[in-house]
Amino acid sequence: MKDYCFDEKSEMYPIAMAYVPWQQLTNIYENLDEAYEIGTIFPELTKPFTGRRCVK
């Protein structure tokens, strides 16, 4: 029985690939309440949500 998701051409390609650069986490927030509200203790990872989509 043949798998319904794949055909002969799909075997040539990997399922997924990712590039994740190394992060240098050197600082932490002193105020843990502030860090909790932001969602990270590392200022380098603070990426506020702007409510916009990524468009060209």
Where in the chain are the domains? Answer: 20-46
Question: Which of 48 and 41 is assigned the larger pLDDT?
Answer: 41
- The angle at the Cα of 54, spanning 10 to 28, to the nearest 5 degrees, equals 100
Question: Which of 8 and 16 is assigned the larger pLDDT?
Answer: 16
- Give, in order, the Cα–Cα distances in Å from 54 to each of 38, 39, 45: 21, 21, 19
Surface-to-core class of residue 41, CB atoms within 10 Å of its CB (0-12 exposed, 13-18 middle, 19+ buried): middle
**Predicted pLDDT at 10:** 65
pLDDT at residue 30 greater than cutoff 90: yes
Q: What does pTM read for this prediction?
A: 0.46
If you average pLDDT over residues 27-49, what whole number do you get? 89
If you average pLDDT over residues 4-14, what whole number do you get? 64
**Predicted pLDDT at 21:** 79
- Give, in order, the Cα–Cα distances in Å from 24 to each of 7, 28, 43, 46: 42, 12, 11, 13
